[in-house]
Amino acid sequence: MHRRNFLKAAGLSAAAVPITTPAIAQSSPPIQWRLTSMFPRNLDTIFGAADVFAKAVYEATDGRFVIQTFAAGEIVGGLQAVDAIGNGTVEMGHVAPGGYVGKDPTFAFGMTVPFGMNARQTNAWLYHGGGMDLMNEFYAKHNIYALLGGNTGAQMGGFFRREIKTVDDLKGLKFRIGGLAGQVVAKLGVIPQQIAAGDVYSSLERGTIDAAEWVGPYDDEKLGLHKVAPYYYYPGFWEGGPALMFLFNKAKWEELPKAYKGAAVSAAALANVDMTAKYDARNPAGLRKLVASGAQLRAFSQDVLEASFKVANEVYEEISSKNEDFKKVYQSYREFRNEEYLWWQVAEYTYDNFMIRTRARG
């Protein structure tokens, strides 16, 4: 029987029959978002995490949830990302939260703090130590929701025009370094400088600054800083395991279908693991290139590390006395860090130490 004849027989007109959308289409609407990154495109590993995330979301939703990625400055500047996400200018972003300590120092814990945890410990605190819950409680005050989205691993201490042998050598040093790290080293006489990546080389070359830190060998080699500041120091004690975050406008996040939220959670976890793995895979070759091109590796002395550790704790106590959000998160972070290093000294450290010494013996 033809459809129209069937409807007549049933006493119904064609106009009276509603045409319903399949349930799967209703629960999977087409959505297009914009993601603003804090980083330039040429830093393919750290910017690339945003592309890894967007691609994974696209594939998991059969192309119905499309996220377009933009580098710093293409929509808003890197340091304006948090405001742009919170006020809905863009739906989300990929950032190093420590860059926003000027808004509130509590942002630092979404990344790291001087003498903080390494990459694996940071993941442990955020995923299973209550860290993400604490950070999202804080982020909600800025109309933001967050998912963990990467870690560079321990960073280098940066390039210096002259050697740093004692704490006294830090006095008067004009150092491109930001966030809480800048506040810490300022207590030792350093003059912190906030300079965009594109201006670091020329600033070092002209002597406007004396030193600059960036990330690690793979990224640092691209900047060519060793040509004008040959002393390459380690470790970057202010970034022992810095995390990156995918930040979402909170209202937009809450509007997402459950399946899309699940896709985003899985994609963020993929990007998180992928970034650390890429840096670990690429940093050895980057370090070899730097040394072959004239970079002179130097370790910060125990004197410098001990003095920096002391003033870092002074900074945290000072901030805690004035900022309840910071105090609450810091207490959780510090306790978890201490427990982690209790474990680390047993198996992880002794194993790595043995393997490093074995390699050195050839």
Give the span between the Cα atoms of 75 and 231, in whole angstroms: 36
Contacts of 198 (CB under 8 A, 6+ apart): 40
4: exposed, middle or buried (C-beta count within 10 Å: 0-12, 13-18, 19+)? exposed
The SS3 assignment for 360 reads helix
Alpha-carbon distance of 316 to 26, in angstroms, equals 49
70 within 8 A of 37, measured Cβ to Cβ: yes
Residue 101 contacts residue 316 (beta carbons within 8 Å): no
Task: Provide CB contacts within 8 A for 271, sequence distance 6+.
Answer: 49, 50, 52, 53, 56, 149, 150, 246
Domain boundaries, the chain: 30-151+241-281, 158-239+295-360
CA distance 358 to 270: 33
User: Quick one: tokens of 251?
Assistant: 């209202």
Cβ(110)–Cβ(146) below 8 Å? yes
Distance CA 287, CA 217 (A): 5
Q: Is the dihedral of CA 246, 280, 46, 99 positive or negative?
A: positive
pLDDT computed for residue 26 by the predictor: 57
Token pair recorded at residue 19 = 């045409």
Residues near 52 by Cβ (< 8 Å), separated by ≥ 6?
A: 267, 270, 271, 274, 275
The structure tokens listed for 101 are 């300590």
d(CA 161, CA 173) in angstroms, rounded, equals 10
Cα 176 to chain centroid, rounded: 18
DSSP type of residue 105 = G
Do 30-151+241-281 and 158-239+295-360 show the same overall fold? yes
**Count of CB atoms situated within 10 Å of the CB of 27:** 11
158-239+295-360: in CATH 3.30.70.20: no
| Cα→Cα distances 7→19, 22, 86, 234, Å | 14, 21, 53, 79
CA distance 100 to 120: 23
Residue 76's φ and ψ, nearest 5 degrees, are -135, 160
The residues of the chain scoring below 70 in pLDDT are 1-26
Predicted confidence (pLDDT) per residue in 31-71, tens digit? 999 999 999 998 999 999 999 999 999 999 999 999 999 99
What CATH number belongs to 30-151+241-281?
A: 3.40.190.170
